[in-house]
């Protein structure tokens, strides 16, 4: 696909992973007082009821950090500050990969405004108490290493 050819001058280049046809989904490991935020999806039907780190697809021209800030604002109604990228990249459905950043709440109380119907703050020992999306599990395990023992 010539229109997808790699061009380092293309401002949407970061939309892509190692494979030029891949869409990047960013998610936040949002921490507050030693707990990690988990969000239960309400849509689409095949993912409803499963828990995830909140986030979504990069829009053209956005950096991953910008996309994360926007997604957390839209989905949870909060302002958050991205921190470090959690090393790794996890395949989602074909053509999509998940990348995760830590994030710190700056203001607001998270509410399930869009695509979620429940939120929970989980301490390290509570992390296995929800049914995480399979694709999120390795990222959650990495995120847990960065949580203080509670
Ligand atoms: N997804 C998986 N784990 C996550 C996120 C934020 C997203 N932590 C998957 C679900 C969808 C796709 O990525 O198939 C796009 O996510 P969204 O834009 O519907 O949140
Ligand atoms: Mg989303």
Q: Which ligand has the nearest atom to the CA of 114?
A: 2
ipTM above 0.95, yes or no: yes
Query: Cα 102 to chain center, whole Å?
Result: 9
The residue whose C-alpha atom lies closest to atom 18 belonging to ligand 1 is 56
- What mean pLDDT comes out for the span 91-113? 96
pLDDT score at 15? 45
Q: Ligand 2 centroid vs 86 CA: distance in angstroms?
A: 18
Q: How confident is the model over 41-68, as pLDDT tens digits? A: 999 999 999 999 999 999 999 999 999 9
Cα separation, 104 vs 114, whole angstroms: 20
């Amino acid at each position: 696909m010539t229109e997808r050819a790699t061009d380092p001058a293309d401002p949407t280049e970061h939309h892509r992973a190692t494979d030029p046809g891949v869409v990047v989904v960013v998610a936040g490991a949002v921490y507050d007082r030693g707990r990690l935020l988990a969000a239960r999806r309400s849509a689409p039907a095949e993912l409803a009821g499963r828990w995830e780190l909140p986030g979504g697809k990069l829009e053209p021209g956005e950096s991953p950090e910008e996309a994360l800030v926007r997604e957390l604002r839209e989905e949870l109604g909060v302002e958050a500050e991205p921190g470090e990228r959690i090393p790794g990249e996890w395949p989602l459905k074909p053509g999509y990969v998940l990348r995760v950043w830590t994030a710190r709440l700056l203001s607001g109380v998270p509410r399930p405004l869009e695509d979620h119907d429940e939120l929970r703050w989980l301490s390290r020992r509570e992390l296995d108490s929800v049914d995480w999306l399979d694709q999120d599990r390795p990222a959650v395990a990495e995120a847990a290493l960065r949580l203080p023992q509670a």
